[in-house]
Structure formats: structure tokens, C-alpha cells
């Protein structure tokens, strides 16, 4: 009677634990940890000395976790990959048989069993010196009754004597229930991982599409993403100063990574001719060609005027006035010099000087006659663009580009990010904000800008200044000039001083050279970021 009460209590206790384990498995999202937990709990339920968990992959079973108390051998999972060949899907092995048939195998002694003659356990015993007796092989089936793996338990032990026993019918029933819960948990984790991979792929495809809209910005987003992660890891390694007390969690790393990949998503709404504007007069084409054609027409009109005037004087029997030829030669020379000046002014470079602006306005005020109408040398829009002091963009065009940050926030706000990625939109949208509040699009001040967004702002400026090819830049900017400009941004209270000092001290700027070399070497490897 006492034995019956003990057995009933033991069964009740194991059922309670089975329920608790089911709950625990349902909330574990790390597949490696989950697999280890499943095998360990299965062994505890049955008091198994050893066991292996296999997963079905294609047309074979792979060793995922192995545990053996007697041999003190534990492999797979967090302990590293198991260096054993996969098991074919056939009936020649215990696990293969279970996977193929979907049936439970409960063998009292694998050496003496009259029905099954599996050589695998015996070969393993000869290799290790272990003695396999009882084996319980249970298929792991998901909610669609599809086999995803096999639980194989070895040598059930008596709780007091340690004697090897057969696995009981009660053990078999409990492990079958545990295996079903485990299969669902494994599928859930896989589904989450696959969804995350799908989302990551979508993010990277979108970012690549945005980059590749312009021949000048191709690869910018990827370089910024990798640089941002390098700086974030630098923060975690920092042992001094204000950053020494700051540690990013894995979730925060992931938030920054996704935000970096998506920080320029708003540029999808920016006209390509604005993003790529290589000259001041460029729209869908470089309107300097219209100016050249116009000046060729003016040249012809001056030459025609000279010929008509010369003919009229000759017809009237009058000599050419003194300096006649020199006057027209001078006008043509001046016209050529003005065109050359306009061509230079069309190319973005250093600041336009005040004298240059005066000359532009003087040229624009000159007129010529076409089809009986007086027309200016330059239109109002041409003059406005040519008078841009620095770069190639007008204020309105620059605003179009600046609008990409607010558009990024607006677009990202439409994505139902998970709780762990909730900060992606504000991080991505703040990469043009400045600590003194003079940035855009929201004019945030220092206390409103997260450390992740500050990292993104730093590396975005650094990568843009370091770009090898930009339409508004004749040649790459030297590294020392780039770092000097960043220092000036720090002194102006635009970017974070502590991050910049870390950037310089740890020479994180050299990471960009590694990234460029890796990108030039071939397609991106998923482990690069």
C-alpha cells in the first residue's frame, strides 16, 4: 500500500513538473537553450543516464545535443557543434527507425532484444567503453503531426541503487507528452527566427534599393550600419569616462542595427535628380547645355550684327569706323570668357566669392534679341542656381533632401515593430539631429537624443564625408580633413564629444576601410553585420 501511495505521489509530482516544463518551454526563445532544456528534462523524468536529441533536416537526422552522466560527456548546444555524421532516414538505427516509422521504440536491452538488431549503440560502446542497455526512442511531432526530430534516452536508473532498468510504460507516456510539447516549442522558436530573418532580409533589400537609386550613394547604408555596430561594440568595451558605465543589451544592439539599415528609408520619396545633383544647373539634365546653346546663338547674333553693319556702311560708301573689328572681337572674347565663367560657376566647389556673385548678376542683366524679342542671358532660375555659394543645391532642394528624415519617421511609424524594436523609428529619425537643438527634423536637444541615435549621427556624417564619390565633390576628402570637420562639429555642440573621443582613441574610423575592402571583395555575408 505504501509503494502504491509513493508511486501515485511520484506520478502526480511528475505530471506537475511536466506542466511546469511545458510552460517554461513555451517562453524560451533561444533554440540552443531550448534543445538543451528539453533533453535534460526528459532525462530527469525518466532518470536516464544519457540521451541524445536529433533534429530532422532534409533527408537525415543531425546530432544537436548529447548528454552522458557516466562518461561526463556533454556536447552540442552551448558547448559547440557535435562533430558526428548525420543519421540517414532508414530503419538501420534507433533514431532513424523512430523518424521513419513515427513509432516509439522501448528496448529493454539493445544487445539481447529478439526483434531489433541495431549496431549503432554497440559500435558507440566499443568506442567509448560505455554499456548501453535500455533505450527509449520517441518521435517529436508538431501540431501538424509532422516529425521534426527524435528524443533518444539511454539507461533508466533505479533512484536508490543506480541499477539500469527498462523504461517503464509510465516513462514512455510522459516522454511522449513532453516530446509533443517540445516539438511545438521548437517550431515556435523556428517560426520566430524565420520571421526575424525575413524581416531582416526585407529591411536590407529596401535599404539596398534606396542606396542603388543613386550611383553615388550605393553602399552608404550598409557602411553606416556596420560602422554604427562597431562604435556600439566600442562603447560596450569602454572602461573609462561616461561611456564606461554604459552597456548596450542585445536588444539595444538589434534596435540600432535595424535603425541604421532603415535610417534613409525616407529618401525613397526624394527625387533622384536632387539626390544626385552633380552641378548647380542639373535637373533631369545639366542645363549648362542650354546656356551653351544660348551663348552660341548670341555669338552668331553678334557676328551677324557685325556683318550687317559692315555691309550697310559699304553700301553707303562709308569707311569702317576706327576700332570696328576690335570692338566685335572684344565682345566675342568677353562672351567666351563669360561662358567659361558660368561653366566654372556651375561646378560645385568652394564658397562662391562676393565678386563672383556680382559678376553673375552682371551677366544675367545682359540681353540679346531673339525673334524680335529681347531676352536675358540667364533666366531667373538659372541665376538662382548658379548663385549657390556652396554645393549644388538650392535652399528648396536642400529642404527636399532634409525632408527624408521626417519622412523616415513617418514611414517607420506605419510598421508594427515589436516591443524590442520600439525605438527603431526615433533612433533612425534622429540621425540629423544636433545636441544644441539646431538639427532636423524635430530640433531635438541633447537630453532628447538617445545614445544609439548619437552613434548613428556620428557615423552618418563620417561616412558621408569619407565617401569616395559624390556628385558635389571633385575628389575624396582626406581622412585628416574629415576628422577635423568632425572635431568642429563636436566643438559646435552638434555631435557627442564622448563618442567622438572614443572614435578617435580606439581608431574606429579605420573600420570604414575594412568595410569598403570587404564590400569590394564580393557579396555581403550575413555575418558581416
**pLDDT on residue 495:** 95
Asked if the structure places residue 208 within a domain, the reply is no
Asked if the structure places residue 205 within a domain, the reply is no
Which residue(s) pair with 366 in the sheet?
none
- 9 and 114 in a single domain? The answer is yes
Number of domains present in the structure of the chain: 3
d(CA 277, CA 337): 25
Give SS3 for 286: strand
- 310 and 443 in a single domain? The answer is no
DSSP label at 142? -
Cell readout for 238 is 569602454
- 223 and 339 in a single domain? The answer is no
- 259 and 401 in a single domain? The answer is yes
- 365 and 417 in a single domain? The answer is no
Give SS3 for 374: strand
- 220 and 111 in a single domain? The answer is no
Q: Is the pLDDT of residue 489 over 90?
A: yes
- 446 and 504 in a single domain? The answer is yes
Taken in order 76, 81, 87, 93, the sign of the CA dihedral is negative
pLDDT-based confidence at 10, cuts 50/70/90? Answer: low
Last residue of a domain, one of 370, 390, 410: 390
Asked if the structure places residue 527 within a domain, the reply is no
**pLDDT on residue 525:** 45
- Each residue's pLDDT tens digit, 166-225: 999 988 988 888 888 888 888 888 887 777 787 777 777 777 776 666 655 558 888 999
- 49 and 131 in a single domain? The answer is yes
Give the number of other Cβ atoms within 10 Å of residue 348's Cβ.
Answer: 22
pLDDT-based confidence at 4, cuts 50/70/90? Answer: very low
- 368 and 429 in a single domain? The answer is no
Query: For 72, left (φ over 0), alpha (ψ -120 to 50), or beta?
Result: left
Asked if the structure places residue 528 within a domain, the reply is no
Helix (H) or strand (E) holding 277: none
CA dihedral 99, 104, 105, 106 (to 10 degrees): 150
Report if pTM > 0.75: no
- 26 and 172 in a single domain? The answer is yes
3-state secondary structure 395-428: HHHHHHHHHHHHHHHHHHCCCCCCHHHCCHHHHH
Name the E strands within 219-267: none
Q: Which domain holds residue 412?
A: 213-276+396-521
**pLDDT on residue 142:** 83
- Each residue's pLDDT tens digit, 110-135: 999 999 999 999 999 999 999 999 99
**Beta strand pairing status for 147-157 and 164-165?**
antiparallel
The answer to whether the CB of 434 falls within 8 A of the CB of 240 is: no
Asked if the structure places residue 33 within a domain, the reply is yes
Cell readout for 161 is 541503487
Q: What is the CATH number of the domain that holds 505?
A: 1.10.3210.10
Amino acid at each position: 500500500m505504501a509503494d502504491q501511495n509513493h508511486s501515485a505521489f511520484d506520478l502526480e509530482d511528475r505530471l506537475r513538473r511536466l506542466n511546469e516544463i511545458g510552460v517554461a518551454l513555451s517562453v524560451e526563445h533561444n533554440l540552443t537553450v531550448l534543445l538543451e532544456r528539453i533533453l535534460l528534462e526528459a532525462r530527469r523524468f525518466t532518470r536516464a543516464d544519457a540521451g541524445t536529441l536529433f533534429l530532422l533536416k532534409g533527408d537525415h537526422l543531425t546530432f544537436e545535443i548529447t548528454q552522458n552522466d557516466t562518461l561526463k560527456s556533454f556536447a552540442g548546444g552551448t558547448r559547440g557543434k557535435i562533430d558526428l555524421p548525420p543519421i540517414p532516414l532508414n530503419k538501420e538505427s534507433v533514431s532513424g527507425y523512430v523518424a521513419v516509422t513515427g513509432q516509439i521504440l522501448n528496448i529493454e536491452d539493445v544487445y539481447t532484444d529478439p526483434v531489433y538488431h541495431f549496431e549503432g549503440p554497440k559500435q558507440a560502446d566499443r568506442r567509448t567503453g560505455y554499456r548501453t542497455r535500455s533505450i527509449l526512442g520517441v518521435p517529436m511531432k508538431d501540431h501538424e503531426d509532422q516529425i521534426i526530430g527524435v528524443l533518444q534516452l539511454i539507461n533508466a536508473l533505479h533512484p536508490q541503487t543506480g541499477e539500469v532498468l527498462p523504461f517503464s510504460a509510465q516513462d514512455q507516456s510522459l516522454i511522449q507528452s513532453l516530446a509533443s510539447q517540445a516539438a511545438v516549442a521548437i517550431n515556435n522558436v523556428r517560426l520566430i527566427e524565420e520571421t526575424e530573418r525575413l524581416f531582416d532580409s526585407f529591411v536590407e533589400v529596401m535599404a539596398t534599393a534606396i542606396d542603388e537609386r543613386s550611383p553615388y550613394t550605393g553602399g552608404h547604408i550598409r557602411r553606416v550600419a556596420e560602422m554604427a555596430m562597431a562604435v556600439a561594440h566600442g562603447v560596450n568595451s569602454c572602461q573609462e569616462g561616461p561611456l564606461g558605465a554604459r552597456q548596450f543589451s542585445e536588444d539595444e544592439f538589434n534596435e540600432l542595427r535595424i535603425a541604421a539599415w532603415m535610417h534613409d528609408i525616407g529618401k525613397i520619396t526624394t527625387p533622384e535628380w536632387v539626390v544626385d545633383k552633380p552641378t548647380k544647373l542639373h535637373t533631369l539634365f545639366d542645363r549648362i547645355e542650354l546656356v551653351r546653346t544660348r551663348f552660341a546663338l548670341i555669338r552668331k547674333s553678334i557676328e551677324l550684327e557685325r556683318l550687317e553693319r559692315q555691309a550697310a556702311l559699304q553700301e553707303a560708301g562709308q569707311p569702317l569706323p576706327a576700332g570696328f573689328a576690335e570692338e566685335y572681337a572684344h565682345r566675342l572674347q568677353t562672351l567666351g570668357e563669360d561662358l567659361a565663367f558660368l561653366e566654372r560657376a556651375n561646378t560645385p566647389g568652394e564658397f562662391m566669392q562676393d565678386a563672383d556673385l556680382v559678376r553673375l548678376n552682371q551677366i544675367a542683366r545682359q540681353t540679346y534679341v531673339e525673334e524680335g524679342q529681347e531676352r536675358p542671358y540667364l533666366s531667373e532660375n538659372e541665376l538662382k542656381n548658379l548663385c549657390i555659394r556652396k554645393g549644388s543645391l538650392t535652399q528648396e532642394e536642400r529642404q527636399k533632401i532634409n525632408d527624408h528624415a521626417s519622412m523616415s519617421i513617418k514611414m517607420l511609424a506605419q510598421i508594427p515593430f515589436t516591443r524590442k524594436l520600439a525605438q527603431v523609428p526615433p533612433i533612425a529619425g534622429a540621425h540629423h539631429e544636433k545636441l544644441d537643438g539646431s538639427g532636423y527634423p524635430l530640433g531635438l536637444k541633447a537630453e532628447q537624443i538617445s545614445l544609439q541615435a548619437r552613434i548613428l549621427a556620428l557615423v552618418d556624417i563620417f561616412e558621408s564625408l569619407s565617401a569616395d564619390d559624390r556628385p558635389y565633390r571633385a575628389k575624396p576628402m582626406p581622412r585628416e580633413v574629415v576628422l577635423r570637420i568632425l572635431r568642429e562639429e563636436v566643438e559646435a555642440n552638434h555631435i557627442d564629444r564622448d563618442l567622438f573621443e572614443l572614435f578617435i582613441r580606439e581608431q574606429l574610423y579605420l573600420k570604414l576601410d575594412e568595410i569598403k575592402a570587404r564590400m569590394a571583395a564580393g557579396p555581403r555575408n550575413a555575418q558581416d553585420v
